[in-house]
Amino acid sequence: MIAEEIRRLHEELPEGVRLVAVSKFHPVEAIKEAYDAGQRLFGESRVQELLEKEPQLPADIEWHFIGHLQTNKVRSLMGKTALIESVDTEKLLKVIDDESRRAGVTTRVLMQIHVAREETKFGFTPVELFEFFRDRKFELLTNTHICGVMGMATNTDDMDRVRADFHLIYDVYDTIRANKELGLRGFDTVSMGMSGDWKIAVEEGSNLVRVGTRIFGNREY
Ligand SMILES: *Cc1c(COP(=O)(O)O)cnc(C)c1O
């Protein structure tokens, strides 16, 4: 089942769109099955869970951290992730940079954008993100590389709303990327799309999708 879904997704995804298999709440056996089917990018949303699974699995797995990250947990993640997709405050970004310097590593991150019409979602508003780049705050970073943005659409059955949210996220990403005066290098990743909406996300420009339920089935929290 898992292997079959992995293969089908890789067939369906256009070239240039990478797949993160979101394995949160699923056991290492399930991850191993996906790995054996060729999957190498996995996403986890809790630090403790990632730290428990990581040593039990092959070293060439790229772990993406996709959940809300508390500043006091940053240190334990240093050197363990290929990408932290969910930087949602300037404070967190600074802690990641300080801890990366301390650990002697460079950490790759995405800035999380909040566009969904929900109170509880984390992330920068488009205006906050534009201001962050306009004020060139990324220049303060020594050991953190901002590779792009991550965003989620509103949790709704209204697919026009979902498409509009992805369109906006892509537009924010593209506006920042196209601004040559910023001199950003390697700002090339726009992560959007989950099990229920990844096709729309890809149509709207996503080049990194995060799919959990469709691969691993329902989560038992
Ligand atoms: C859980 C999660 C996903 C995967 O969601 P599915 O609907 O199971 O595909 C994607 N992105 C983030 C940020 C998540 O927390």
Query: Where in the chain are the domains?
Result: 2-215
Instruction: Say what percent of the chain tops pLDDT 90.
Output: 95
β-pairing verdict for 62-65 and 83-87: parallel
The CATH number, out of the four listed (3.40.50.150, 1.20.1430.10, 3.30.565.10, 3.20.20.10), of the domain defined by the range 2-215? 3.20.20.10
Q: Are 169 and 194 in contact (CB under 8 A)?
A: no
Structure confidence at residue 24 (pLDDT)? 97
Per-residue pLDDT of 105-149, as tens digits, reads 999 999 999 998 776 679 999 999 999 999 999 999 999 999 999
Radius of gyration from C-alpha coordinates of the chain: 17
**Residue-level pLDDT, tens digit, the chain, 221 residues:** 999 999 999 999 999 999 999 999 999 999 999 999 999 999 999 999 999 999 999 999 999 999 999 999 999 999 999 999 999 999 999 999 999 999 999 999 999 999 987 766 799 999 999 999 999 999 999 999 999 999 999 999 999 999 999 999 999 999 999 999 999 999 999 999 999 999 999 999 999 999 999 999 998 77
Q: How many angstroms is it from 211 CA to the middle of ligand 1?
A: 6
Apex CA 136: angle with CA 131 and CA 140, to 5°? 125
Nearest CA-CA partner of 81 in 69, 94, 98 = 69
pTM: 0.97
| Position in ligand 1 atom list of the atom nearest CA 195 | 9
SS3 104: coil
* Residue nearest to ligand 1 atom 4, measured at CA: 212
Pocket test for ligand 1, best of 9, 18, 66 (most atoms within 8 A of CB): 66
Ligand 1: residues whose CB is within 6 Å?
Answer: 22, 24, 45, 66-67, 194-196, 210-214
Taking alpha carbons only, the member of 66, 98, 96, 52 closest to residue 209 is 66
**Residue 179 CA to ligand 1 centre (angstroms):** 30
Which residue in 47, 24, 21 sits closest to 35, CA to CA?
21
Name the residue type at position 194.
M
Ligand 1 centre to CA of 64 (Å) is 12
Question: Separation of 193 CA from ligand 1 center, angstroms?
Answer: 8
* Sheet strands (E) in the chain: 18-22, 41-44, 62-65, 83-87, 107-113, 144-151, 189-191, 208-211
Atom of ligand 1 lying closest to residue 211 CA: 9
3-state secondary structure of 124: strand
Q: Count Cβ atoms within 10 A of the Cβ of residue 142 and give its class: 0-12 exposed, 13-18 middle, 19 or more buried.
A: exposed
State the closest ligand 1 atom to the C-alpha of 22, by its place in the atom list counted from 1. Answer: 4
Model pLDDT, residue 118: 75
Q: Which atom of ligand 1 is least distant from the CA of 66? A: 13
Residue with tokens 């040559």: 180
Query: Would you state the pLDDT for residue 178?
Result: 97
